[in-house]
A and B are shown apart, each in its own frame.
Chain A
């Protein structure tokens, strides 16, 4: 799956909890050599709690798997707080 395809899938997700500010996507092989996707989700600092990260991780993973089917890559969903964002 391309970065653009994953971006499209993420934009279609409804039901993200409050506090999801933005995301960036990387693709490439993981340590096992399999195709993988990394989604770096930036959360508002006050939204940073275990329940929220678990919910976002699950929503993203299920959406990519639905779209990609049998050949969908594994998605590593990682989080950072808005105050940790590196300015462009």
Chain B
């Protein structure tokens, strides 16, 4: 099993860890883990496309460290709102965005914010239902990605996540 696949499973396990009275720590970790599942899925997809061939695992891992949460969020935000940066928009050749890709991008934005709240906002109280809804959003993002991950639009999205901020028009 991949790291991102394991993280997705673990997110649900954490959300349902205590049968009756869930601990806030478990729910917070579940939300954070759901975000990181999607984060690592997208990085794995990008690095495996940019660095192909055998014997290059270390290079792929090194490239993965070049992804920056805030830059990924900015790029995903544009896709989620159907307003693509002119830096990458022309690569789409005028095609309408696939709804599954919009959904993946929106889930990334939602889950990153939820992770901030879960990890840093100690005043917030999390419920199991809210937590399970966020985990389900991550699960749906995985399913959506499976449906469109081999498309040109998916490639454009991955490139945007990595490099849009530093691109020139």
Contacts from A to B (Cβ < 8 Å): 30-32, 36, 48, 50, 53-54, 61, 65, 70, 74, 76, 78-81, 84
Contacts and interface: CB of A to CB of B under 8 A. Distances in A.
Given A50-B136, A74-B77, A31 B113 contact: yes
Majority secondary structure, B binding face: helix
Contacts of A61: 106
Interface of B: 70, 73-74, 77, 80-81, 83, 106, 109-110, 112-114, 116-117, 127, 129-130, 133, 136-137, 140
A30 B114 CA distance: 10
Contacts of A31: 112-113, 116-117
9 contacts: A31-B116, A32-B70, A32-B73, A36-B113, A50-B140, A70-B83, A74-B77, A76-B114, A84-B127
A30 B106 CA distance: 15
Majority secondary structure, A binding face: mixed
Contacts of B110: 76
Contacts of A80: 127, 129-130
Contacts of B133: 50, 53, 78-79
Contact of B140 (A54, A79, A84): A54
